Amino acid sequence: MVIILIRTIILYLVVLFTIRIMGKSELSKMSPFQLVVIFMIAELAAIPIESPAASLINGAVGIFALMFLQVLISMVSIKSERFKNFINGKPSILIEKGEINEKELKALRISLNDLMEQLRIGNAPSLSQVEYAVMESNGELSIIPKAEEKPLTPKDMSLAKTQEAMPLVLISDGVLYRQNLLSLGWDEAYLKGQMAGVNLKSYKEVFFAFCDEQKKLHIYVSTPDHKKAKEVTTCATS
């Protein structure tokens, strides 16, 4: 019994250290790949506890190997959107500009009843209230209501509601998302012109850039110590 207690304490500390190194995202909504890694870590930790004859070192080595693999894949995913989509999958637009995307519903094997249930959970009881609904790679449904359905804010008192666009990431950690750029009807010359207005010559200088619902471009750059990213401009666009 004492041996099992000692093994349990050691493996608990090993797993705790592993999860801590892998990052806080492992404890939030997990992608399929992250879910598999967590299950495998749990299984590797359980075997030496349940079977005293099993090697404690082999279990710990297996856990550390999974930790290294997860950290490596996470780092590669940050740099490569294509690799990230291959590992985690990509978001699927189920409702676009108020219209249901039947093809995506069939591909994901989601019935209309399932979709309506998720909309109700997301505080959108009527499909007519939804402008966009996106099934994220972690299985969570993101809902963007139509402009006239959004709660009134002090800013709205002096501004009229306008037709909104799908928010899209254009640059992440120096990598350009060309497909998103084309979806907005923009080209690289236009984007580089906006960047030149704030003395940015290369995508590598941009930490994050996105287009919001009003088709305004927001650009963030890292501070000199690379501890924070600050917005340098909010560009009005056509």
Q: Per residue in 152-161, pLDDT tens? A: 666 666 655 5
Q: Answer with the one of 56, 86, 116 that is the final residue of a domain.
A: 86
Which structural domain range is residue 137 located in? Answer: 92-151
Asked if residue 27 and residue 54 are part of one domain, the reply reads yes
* Chain-centroid distance, C-alpha 82: 14
Q: Are residues 118 and 184 in the same domain?
A: no
The verdict on 57 and 15 lying in the same domain is yes
Tokens of 129: 């209230």
Name beta bridge partners: 221: 230
Contacts of 213 (CB under 8 A, 6+ apart): 144, 164, 165, 166, 167
- What CATH number is given to the structural domain containing 100? 3.30.240.20
101 domain-assigned: yes
C-alpha distance from residue 134 to each of 83, 96, 177, 205 (Å): 20, 9, 18, 30
Residues 98 and 75 in one domain: no
pTM of the full predicted structure?
Answer: 0.53
CA 13 to chain CA centroid, Å, is 29
Number of domains in the chain: 3
Is the same domain home to 230 and 188? yes
Q: Which pair of structure tokens corresponds to residue 180?
A: 């998103």
Helices (H) and strands (E) in the chain, counts: 8, 9
User: Do both 177 and 204 map to the same domain?
Assistant: yes
In a domain, 146, yes or no: yes
Domain end residue (candidates: 86, 108, 140): 86
Domain boundary residue, one of 103, 121, 151: 151
Q: pLDDT by residue for the chain (238 residues), tens digit each?
A: 677 788 888 888 888 888 777 765 555 556 667 777 888 888 888 888 878 778 888 888 888 888 888 888 878 877 777 777 777 777 888 888 888 888 888 888 888 778 888 888 888 877 778 888 898 877 788 888 887 777 766 666 665 556 667 788 898 888 888 888 888 888 899 899 888 888 888 888 888 888 887 788 888 888 888 777 788 865 545 4
